[in-house]
């Protein structure tokens, strides 16, 4: 089934076209949800809710970019809305982790695998993890993030800085990187995910 046939069938509520659509995009979108979720079950719930929105909003897709990118945007917003319902992002800043660890964004060790990156990111507190995912991996600006999460732009920036520092600590503790080599690029990690 071509993408056009899949889209047309899905817009007309054709169950087999919707199944093809879901099967084509759900594995990658589950990965997106998993980075925001506390566990796999939460990620699967986010995915289901996200795809309900995708199917109900599919008529709004204008073929002005990649379909996968359009779907991803809806999934990310769904994840954020679910997290916003359950937690306050501004309350999740842990000042214990505010000490400065220099993280230079120009390389990531080649030994780093996507699974290790995701697992380490998932260990971060909710606010840190969310801002890190949105800024470094999804590519949103701090201004956009502040609007999405309903926090100050400075909160987004500080949580991102603290998330990088805490992530570096986690990577060192898990012996994924060594302290002297601990110059990581969170932005470059996106290519692994």
What b/e sequence results for 40-58 when a residue is b if at least 16 CB atoms lie within 10 Å of its CB, and e otherwise? eebbeebbebbbeebbeeb
Q: What are the structure tokens assigned to 180, written together?
A: 């002297």
Q: Which residues constitute the domain of residue 164?
A: 89-192
**Span 24-45, mean pLDDT?**
91
pLDDT confidence tier of residue 113, bands split at 50, 70 and 90: low
- pLDDT attached to residue 180: 53
pLDDT confidence tier of residue 161, bands split at 50, 70 and 90: very high
- Kindly state whether residues 66 and 100 are assigned to the same domain: no
Per residue, what are the HEC states of 48-90? HHHHHHHHHHHHHCCCCCCHHHHHHHHHHHHHHHHHHHHCCHH
Question: 124 vs 132, 171, 186, CA distance in Å?
Answer: 9, 11, 13
Domain boundary among 56, 86, 116: 86
Domain boundary among 51, 70, 86: 86
- Kindly state whether residues 169 and 105 are assigned to the same domain: yes
**Span 11-25, mean pLDDT?**
94
- Kindly state whether residues 62 and 133 are assigned to the same domain: no
Which residues 6+ apart lie within 8 Å of 14 measured at CB? none
- Nearest C-alpha neighbor of 36 from the set 166, 185, 137, 147: 137
pLDDT confidence tier of residue 95, bands split at 50, 70 and 90: very low
Number of folded domains in the chain? Answer: 2
Domain boundary among 48, 68, 86: 86
pLDDT reading at 53 higher than 90:
yes
- pLDDT attached to residue 62: 87
- pLDDT attached to residue 82: 92
Chain segment 134-150, per-residue pLDDT in tens: 998 888 999 999 998 88
- Nearest C-alpha neighbor of 123 from the set 84, 149, 97: 97
**Mean per-residue pLDDT of the chain:** 80
- Kindly state whether residues 100 and 33 are assigned to the same domain: no
Cα(102)–Cα(8) distance, rounded to whole angstroms? Answer: 50
pLDDT reading at 157 higher than 60:
yes
pLDDT confidence tier of residue 109, bands split at 50, 70 and 90: very low
pLDDT reading at 107 higher than 50:
no
The whole-model pTM stands at 0.70
- Kindly state whether residues 109 and 76 are assigned to the same domain: no
Cα(6)–Cα(58) distance, rounded to whole angstroms? Answer: 11
- Kindly state whether residues 42 and 79 are assigned to the same domain: yes
**Span 3-13, mean pLDDT?**
90
């Amino acid at each position: 089934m071509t993408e056009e046939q899949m889209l047309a069938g899905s817009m007309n509520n054709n169950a087999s076209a919707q199944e093809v659509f879901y099967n084509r995009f759900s594995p990658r979108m589950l990965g997106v949800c998993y980075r925001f979720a506390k566990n796999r079950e939460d990620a699967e719930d986010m995915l289901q809710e996200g795809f309900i929105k995708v199917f109900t909003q599919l008529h709004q897709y204008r073929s002005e970019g990649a379909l996968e990118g359009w779907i991803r945007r809806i999934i990310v917003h769904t994840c954020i809305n679910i997290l916003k319902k359950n937690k306050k992002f501004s309350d999740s800043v842990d000042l214990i982790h505010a000490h400065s660890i220099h993280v230079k964004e120009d390389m990531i060790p080649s030994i780093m695998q996507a699974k290790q990156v995701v697992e380490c990111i998932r260990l971060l507190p909710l606010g840190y993890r969310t801002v890190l995912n949105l800024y470094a991996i999804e590519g949103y600006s701090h201004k956009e993030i502040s609007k999405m999460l309903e926090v100050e732009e400075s909160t987004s920036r500080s949580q991102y800085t603290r998330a990088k520092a805490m992530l570096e600590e986690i990577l060192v503790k898990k012996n994924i990187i060594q302290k002297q080599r601990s110059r990581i690029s969170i932005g470059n990690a996106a290519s692994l995910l």
